[in-house]
Amino acid sequence: MSSSVQRLQATRQALCDALANQDWSAIGELDLQCRMAVDAAMFEGQQDEEQLRSSLEQLLDLYRELVGICQGEQRRLAGELLQLNQSHQGAKVYQLFG
């Protein structure tokens, strides 16, 4: 197994662990590392294309999961912001008439 494929697999596993812990700052850093690992793997001549393909498919599946979780988190935060804004507006009305 080439070093770039090993790096790709190790980075994918670290990203998977960070996602399980919802460590968003680590996910951001690992995303950059994944991009660099993919670039390195594509640039390096691969002797075993099947291993590279498998690693990239696993990474793609993880990113699909990550995008779904991020979208859910975005919806949750948008809902919280909406409630916060509504509460803030209600407090302003109360201050006007209170």
Q: What is the CA radius of gyration of the chain?
A: 21
- What is the structure's pLDDT at 88? 82
The tokens for 41 are 């793997």
C-alpha span between 33 and 12 (Å, rounded): 9
Q: How confident is the model at residue 92 (pLDDT cuts 50, 70, 90)?
A: confident
C-alpha span between 38 and 76 (Å, rounded): 31
pLDDT above 70: percentage of residues in the chain: 94
C-alpha span between 94 and 65 (Å, rounded): 44
Range of the structural domain that residue 47 is part of: 3-97
- What is the structure's pLDDT at 43? 83
pTM of the predicted structure, to 2 decimals: 0.78
Q: Considering its fold, how many domains does the chain have in total?
A: 1
Residue 5 contacts residue 45 (beta carbons within 8 Å): no
Q: Any idea what DSSP says for residue 47?
A: S
Q: How confident is the model at residue 97 (pLDDT cuts 50, 70, 90)?
A: confident
